[in-house]
């Protein structure tokens, strides 16, 4: 059983509540054999069976023993183990279990872990939890993702512990656990059902209370006093579950905020609902004064509707972000006796090691990176490219963990497993991207916090003023002020748009790794792009092969492949893939920068640069050399008697290169090609894709200086690079992008990573960034204008609480709905401005 399976419930004790189903009286602790109380909830799966424990300490020790592979201890022991002294609370358990299960990552002198937070409802919750936890001595960083409720915690172990942080989070009303996707899904379902139930109760009560209030609104002569009191009492009874159940989350949130001396979004809501309900209940009991049960129920119902809409939007965005992290299977079919036997055993994917052979059935997911040793099939590599079109795979082909085998079984030799796979690297990249929050979001959260304080001051001033003007209207006007304000719209404006954009880009396999990457990308005015590996694939292929002797083309390729058999040069790789060596070459000598020489069947051959090959026989270059393209690489084959063959190699344009340049121009973005390659090659590629400004022979520092020069001119520069030598210019640029095939250093340096091979995705990312921040500006402008107009109207008595409740809810829903438009992101194939105009987009 692998770590991922062991981490699922019941590894982590469930929240305090009723005992687990199936718990029996008289159970004994698996570790110390002490009696287990009926309400104890510490259980874990040990050696395939679920075992009970009397306390968190015994559970943690057992898990440590299990993680170390020493569970034979329980079979060999002759007496009961000792109960740990001073059994720790539920949080101390995590210090032991998280370390044992490898959930904690050590980075330099500190530790990191991913947590799942329960109780996060809006951006204000994120701001509160981040602000509070980051004040704990020893906490280096604490960031919460709005869409996934996933938090990244970094702390210094000598100064604090994981349990200290979890205990502090619990103290402010949230609960945190080591992150588990399965637990997150269960939590989301539970929260969704609870929120829907609260909303349904509030809506049903609102409709009935509105019916009871209708006579007072439409009666010309007024309602009989006895009837009015009866309707008021009926409304009170129906409003009680709304206040005590549906609105309880607002009161709990407000109490939590006030307990730590913070003014969160729930404070004005709780004040308004509480004051209006208490005043209405008092008026009902005494028979004096007006009642506002209809306003209370409508306000709570509409606010819950708005939060339910926001909750669903957040969950959908989070699901898109998390999808890649769940691509890898948990188990695999290993062939321990291969090739002698074909017997299989089911093991955890995390237990695979390089060299293992696994069987991947048709329709199954590849559990590790590897090389096909037997079988042929088609494999869908959407995890890497975002393209669902299957690619053919046969013996010798590379397959990636997370890929889906579509047709026939494959035997795969593992080259990388677990956290060393490409899928694991992508998962880390995705989760790292999801944790980042841009500057504009932090500013919006800060402003929203101050907004609540200003609102309470305005409400107090309104109450004071109306106490002088018309004391009978103090409550209703003040309630309207508290209700009509919409700090939630202000707080949701940015994170809702960013979550929707991140989810949409994630489905296209585009990830903003740095916090402010999308903001910078939306302002880009100049793009600097590298050639090799970026505009081109960086992979040499044989463009032409011309026989210059009595040998045919296949024979020439066979000789060249035999000579290059032991070489790792890209040209040698291309030659070997183009020809099949039918003979072995002897006395092979590799001459750096020139080529290889060897003997086949008694004849001495050279394969390499034409001038060097010509030195073997002294003949002039063949006529085919005169027709060589500017960017082509010539390789000659010859012996002592003369020229045998002429091979032409070249790099190919990456799919979508021409369309990307056209799209950038259409957006008004200048484009420059800066490459370290020779002038003729760079000029040819620039002409092919339509770039007018280009520079050849650029060293890494020259590229960085080029970017810096454009920045000094006042331009916002994006750098698109691939290789390690692009890292300085990527770091210099305002925003940097790299492709999934880039080096690990380049991906780590880049702000945005595009996992696919199609360059048109970069155009999609730029358009999405511009749309995202256009929507953010719209949302912030709406929230500002709405509050500036609505609050004075409410404060001057021109808005009733009913109208205020409608306005507040409509404002929140409008912000979320406007942001949700960003989820409709066209793929590179569907985007009109990025459609391929040249079917041979990857040709030369």
Do the beta carbons of residue 821 and residue 815 sit within 8 Å? no
Question: Of 533, 536, 560, which is closest to residue 546 (Cα–Cα)?
Answer: 560
At 105, is the secondary structure helix, strand, or coil?
Answer: strand
Q: For residues 178 and 276, is the Cβ–Cβ distance under 8 A?
A: no
Residue 286 neighbours by CB under 8 Å, 6+ apart: none
426: exposed, middle or buried (Cβ count in 10 Å: 0-12, 13-18, 19+): buried
Bridge pairing between strands 735-739 and 752-754 = parallel
**Residues contacting residue 146 through CB under 8 Å, at least 6 positions apart:** 120, 123, 126, 314, 437, 495, 496, 498, 499
Q: Checking DSSP bridges between strand 510-512 and strand 603-608, what pairing results, if any? A: unpaired
Judge whether 726 counts as a catalytic residue: no
CA pseudo-torsion sign 166, 169, 171, 177: negative
- Measure the CA–CA gap between 484 and 788, rounded to whole angstroms: 11
Q: Out of 530, 677, 726, 734, which one is annotated catalytic?
A: 530
Q: Which residues partner with 671 through β-bridges?
A: 527
Instruction: Give the C-alpha distances (Å, rounded to integers) separating 247 from 253, 399, 413, 801.
Output: 10, 52, 57, 17
CA 171 to CA 165: how far, in whole Å? 10
Helix or strand or coil: residue 155? Answer: strand
Question: Residues, the chain, total?
Answer: 844
User: How far is residue 599's CA from residue 219's CA, in Å, rounded to a whole number?
Assistant: 110
Residue partners of 627: CB distance under 8 A and separation at least 6 = none
Q: What is the DSSP string of 652-688?
A: EEPTTHHHHHHHHHHTT-EEEEE-SS-HHHHHHHHHH
Instruction: Tell me the three state secondary structure of residue 499.
Output: helix
C-alpha pair distances (Å), 82 with each of 61, 247, 625, 773: 11, 47, 85, 60
Both tokens assigned to 606: 């050279």
CA-based end-to-end distance of the chain: 51
DSSP of 465-494: HHHHH-GGGHHHHHHHHHHH--HHHHHHHH
Q: What stretches of 323-421 show up as alpha helix (H) in DSSP? A: 382-385
- The set of residues, in sequence order, having a beta carbon less than 8 Å from that of 836 and lying 6+ positions away, is 656, 658, 659, 760
Residue 832 carries which DSSP code? G
Local structure of 829: helix, strand or coil: coil
Instruction: For residues 735 and 717, give the distance between their C-alpha atoms in angstroms, rounded to a whole number.
Output: 7
Q: How many angstroms separate the CA atoms of 236 and 243, rounded?
A: 10
> Phi and psi at residue 433, in whole multiples of 5°?
-65, -40
Rounded Cα distance, 524 and 664, in Å: 10
Using CA atoms of 9, 10, 14, 20 in order, give the dihedral in degrees to the nearest 10: 130
Is 399 within 8 Å of 366 (Cβ atoms)? yes
C-alpha separations of 567 from 582, 588, 590 in Å: 17, 10, 8
Residue burial 549-563, b: 16+ Cβ < 10 Å; e: rest: eeeeeebbbbbbbbb
Sign of CA dihedral 681, 684, 687, 692: positive
Q: H/E/C letters for each residue in 309-330? A: HHHHHHHHHHHHHHCHHHCCCC
Q: How many helices (H) and strands (E) does the chain have?
A: 27, 29
Q: Annotated active-site positions, please?
A: 530
């Amino acid at each position: 059983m692998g770590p991922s399976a062991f981490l699922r419930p019941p590894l982590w004790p469930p929240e305090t509540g009723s005992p687990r189903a199936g718990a029996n009286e008289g159970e004994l602790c698996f570790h110390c054999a002490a009696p287990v109380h009926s309400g104890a909830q510490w259980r874990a799966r040990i050696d395939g069976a679920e075992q009970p424990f009397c306390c968190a300490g015994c559970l943690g020790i057992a898990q440590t023993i299990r993680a170390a592979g020493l569970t034979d201890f329980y079979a060999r022991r002759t007496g009961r183990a000792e109960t740990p002294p001073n059994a720790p609370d539920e949080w101390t358990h995590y210090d032991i279990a998280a370390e044992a299960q490898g959930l904690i990552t050590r980075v330099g002198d500190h530790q990191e872990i991913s947590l799942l937070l329960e109780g996060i409802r809006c951006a204000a919750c994120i701001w509160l939890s981040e602000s509070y936890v980051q004040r704990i001595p020893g906490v280096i960083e604490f960031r919460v993702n709005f869409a996934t409720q996933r938090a990244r915690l970094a702390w210094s172990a000598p100064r604090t512990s994981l349990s200290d942080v979890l205990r502090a989070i619990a103290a402010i009303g949230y609960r945190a656990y080591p992150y588990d996707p399965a637990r997150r899904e269960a939590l989301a379902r539970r929260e969704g059902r609870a929120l829907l139930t609260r909303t349904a109760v509030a809506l049903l009560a609102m409709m009935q209370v509105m019916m009871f209030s209708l006579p007072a609104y439409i009666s010309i002569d007024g309602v009989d006093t006895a009837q009015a009191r009866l309707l008021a009492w009926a409304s009170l009874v129906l409003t009680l579950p709304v206040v005590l159940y549906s609105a309880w989350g607002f009161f709990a949130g407000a109490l939590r905020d006030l307990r730590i001396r913070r003014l969160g979004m729930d404070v004005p809501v709780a004040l308004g609902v509480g004051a209006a309900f208490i005043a209405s209940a008092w008026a009902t009991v005494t028979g004096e004064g007006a009642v506002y049960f209809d306003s209370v129920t409508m306000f709570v119902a509409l606010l819950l509707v708005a939060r339910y809409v926001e909750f669903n939007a957040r969950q959908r965005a989070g699901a898109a972000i998390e999808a890649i992290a769940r691509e890898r299977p948990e188990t695999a079919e290993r062939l321990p006796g291969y090739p002698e036997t074909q017997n299989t055993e089911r093991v955890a994917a995390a237990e695979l090691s390089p060299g293992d052979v696994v069987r991947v059935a048709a329709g199954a997911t590849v559990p590790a990176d590897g090389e096909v040793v037997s079988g042929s099939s088609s494999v869908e590599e959407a995890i890497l490219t975002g393209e669902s079109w299957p690619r053919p795979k046969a013996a010798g082909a590379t397959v990636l963990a997370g890929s889906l085998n579509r047709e026939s079984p494959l035997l795969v030799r593992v080259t990388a497993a677990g956290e060393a796979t490409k899928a694991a690297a992508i998962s880390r990249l995705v989760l790292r991207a999801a944790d980042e929050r841009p500057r504009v979001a932090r500013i919006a959260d800060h402003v929203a916090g101050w907004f609540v304080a200003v609102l309470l001051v305005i409400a107090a001033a309104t109450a004071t003023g109306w106490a002088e003007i018309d004391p009978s209207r103090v409550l209703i006007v003040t309630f309207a002020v508290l209700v009509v304000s919409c700090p939630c719209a202000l707080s949701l404006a940015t994170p809702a748009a960013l979550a929707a954009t991140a989810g949409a880009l994630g489905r296209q396999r585009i990830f903003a790794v740095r916090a402010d990457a999308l903001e910078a990308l939306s302002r880009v005015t100049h793009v600097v792009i590298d050639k090799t590996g970026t505009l081109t694939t960086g992979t040499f292929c044989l463009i032409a092969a011309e026989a210059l002797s009595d040998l045919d083309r296949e024979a020439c390729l066979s000789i060249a492949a035999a000579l290059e058999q032991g070489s790792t040069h890209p040209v040698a790789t291309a030659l070997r893939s183009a020809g099949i060596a039918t003979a072995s070459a002897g006395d092979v000598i590799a001459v750096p920068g020139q080529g290889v020489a060897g003997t086949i069947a008694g004849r001495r051959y050279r394969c390499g640069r034409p001038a060097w090959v010509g030195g073997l026989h002294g003949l002039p270059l063949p006529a085919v050399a005169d027709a060589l393209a500017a960017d082509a690489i010539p390789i000659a084959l010859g012996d002592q008697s003369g020229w045998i063959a002429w091979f032409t190699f070249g790099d190919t344009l990456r799919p979508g290169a021409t369309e990307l340049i056209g799209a950038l121009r259409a957006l008004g973005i200048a484009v420059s090609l800066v490459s370290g390659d020779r002038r003729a090659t760079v000029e040819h590629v620039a002409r092919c894709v339509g770039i007018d400004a280009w520079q050849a022979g650029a060293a890494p520092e020259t590229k960085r200086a080029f970017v810096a020069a454009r920045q000094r001119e006042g331009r916002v520069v994006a750098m698109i690079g691939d290789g390690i030598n692009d890292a300085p210019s990527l770091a210099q640029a305002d925003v940097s992008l790299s492709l999934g095939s880039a080096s690990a250093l380049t991906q780590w340096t880049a702000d945005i990573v595009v996992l696919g091979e199609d360059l048109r995705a970069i155009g999609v990312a730029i358009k999405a960034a511009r749309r995202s921040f256009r929507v953010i500006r719209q949302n912030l402008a709406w929230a500002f204008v709405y509050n500036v107009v609505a609050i004075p109207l409410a404060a001057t008595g021109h808005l009733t609480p009913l109208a205020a409740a409608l306005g507040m809810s409509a404002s929140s829903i409008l912000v979320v709905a406007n942001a949700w438009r960003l989820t409709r992101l066209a793929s590179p194939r569907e985007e009109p401005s990025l459609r391929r105009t040249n079917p041979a987009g990857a040709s030369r």
